[in-house]
Each structure stands twice: as C-alpha cells, then as structure tokens.
Amino acid sequence: KTLLNIENLHAEIEDKQILKGLNLKVNAGEIHAIMGPNGAGKSTLASVLSGRDGYEMTEGKVDFDGTDLMELDPDERAKEGLFLAFQYPVEIPGVSNINFLRTALNEIREYRKEEPVSAKEFMTMVRERSQIVELDSKLASRSVNVGFSGGEKKRNEIFQMAMLEPKLAILDETDSGLDIDALRIVAAGVNKLKNENNAVVLITHYQRLLDYIKPDFVHVLADGKIIKTGGPELALELEEKGYDWLTK
C-alpha cells in the first residue's frame, strides 16, 4: 500500500525555486533515507510536506494515503497521520507535556471518529513509551520542552512520535550535531515503532544514523531532485565518496 506519493514536486521559498521536480514513493512497511549535500532542499521538502508558512508548492502533486496532502492545513495533515519531527520541539510554557499529548491524541482520535483515550490507557502508554526513549518521567509533567536540554528535546520528540502513532513519520535530523546518545534514541524509537502499516522517512546529511537504522531505500537529493536511489549500500558509498561524483 502506498502511503506517500510525491510527483514532480516544485516548491519555492521567497520566490526562490528550491524543489525542481522531485518524485518519491513510500509504501507502508518501508524506511527511506534521504541524503544529500547541504542546501540541496532536504529540509525544504520536510517543510513543504508539513505545510509550513512561506513554503509554496508551484507544481506537482502529493498524495498521502489517498488524500491530496496539499489541500489540507498543517493541523489536518497531522491528524491524517503525518508526523514531522521538527513540528513539536516548540516550547509551550504552562502546558504540561502530558496534557499536550493527551489533547493531541484525542484530537486525532476524534478526527478518526474513535473513542477518546481513557486515563488508564493513556498512563500505560506514557509509561511504556517513555521507556523506549529513556525519558525521565519528571519531564512528562513539565511544560512542553521548556528548559529541556537538546538531548531531552530529542527524546521528547521521539516520545511524542511514539504516543501519536503516525502513519508516516518524517524525521529531519538537521546537520547540526546529533550526538551518539541522540542517534541511539532516535534509532530505538524508530526501530520499536516501525511496523508493516507505517513508514519512516529519515532525512540525514551523514551516514551515521544509518548504522543504527537500516533503511530499505536510500535516495540522494541534490539541487531539488532525487537524482539516485539505491539500497543501504548507497549510504556507505556516499560516506566514502561524498556527493560530487553524482552531481558533477
């Protein structure tokens, strides 16, 4: 079953063309890695899919599990089951992590015409899933991300993903230093939550993360397009040879 089908996606920021005809198809049960040189448009892709302000699709089509994704506002995209890792690390003073998640989870359930989560079920989920990312239980009751360290925000982000059970998670592991601990946490979360009904797209500049999570497909994004697709071995080849041999 196809969860995400991106066809000929063109997108711009501030009248600057960044994505120039990008195609990508992600089926349920798959892990895809998107790699590529700095400035290639990786984060732009994540932003366009999330519906972030200022990122405009100028051509193309994005189907998400049978729905025209670009017709939905960002909130609806999340409720349809799309999770963008950078969507949640915002700080929300005065709203506890737990209450934030319970509200988000119940909004998703309501949207799907499902019963709200019971207090007991919710607490069980919190206990089990915070353990996956070794999140300190005290952080659950603190305001969302306020005063969290970088590592705690990362744990919390993956905890949120675990709680919201998205159909498709897109994790943009921006180039700035994810330490080994953070990589291990992301990997533990992804490996634990991955099943035959969902899918993960990992955006990463470095091969390191892929030592911990084995992708089914590795794509190279350069100058706004996917220019090469392979298996896990492609990531190792890129680590060794860089990107120039593909773009020159």
Write out the residues near ligand ADP by the rule CB under 6 A: 13-14, 16, 18, 36, 38-44
Rounded Cα–Cα distance for residues 231 and 217 (Å): 5
Task: Tell me if residue 33 falls in helix, strand or coil.
Answer: strand
Type and span of the H or E element at 93: strand 92-96
- Each residue 37-66 as x (binds Mg ion by CB under 5 A) or -, in order, gives -x---xx-----------------------
Give the rounded distance of the alpha carbon of 82 from its chain centre. Answer: 8
- Please report whether residue 153 would count as binding Mg ion according to CB under 5 A: no
Q: Is 167 exposed, middle or buried (0-12, 13-18, 19+ CB in 10 A)?
A: middle
Which one, 14 or 244, has the nearer CB to ligand ADP? 14
Instruction: Report, in angstroms and rounded to the nearest whole number, the Rg of the chain calculated over CA atoms.
Output: 18
Give the rounded distance of the alpha carbon of 172 from its chain centre. Answer: 6
- Please report whether residue 27 would count as binding Mg ion according to CB under 5 A: no
Rounded Cα–Cα distance for residues 108 and 94 (Å): 22
- Please report whether residue 176 would count as binding Mg ion according to CB under 5 A: no
* Least distance to ligand ADP, CB of residue 219, Å: 12
* Least distance to ligand ADP, CB of residue 216, Å: 21
- Please report whether residue 23 would count as binding Mg ion according to CB under 5 A: no
Which one, 38 or 149, has the nearer CB to ligand ADP? 38
Q: CB within 8 A of 88, min separation 6: which ones?
A: 144, 145, 156, 157, 160
Rounded Cα–Cα distance for residues 81 and 64 (Å): 9
Which one, 46 or 144, has the nearer CB to Mg ion? 46
Which one, 6 or 188, has the nearer CB to ligand ADP? 6
Q: Which does 247 bind (CB under 5 to 8 A by kind): ligand ADP, Mg ion, none?
A: none
* Least distance to ligand ADP, CB of residue 34, Å: 9
* Least distance to ligand ADP, CB of residue 70, Å: 18
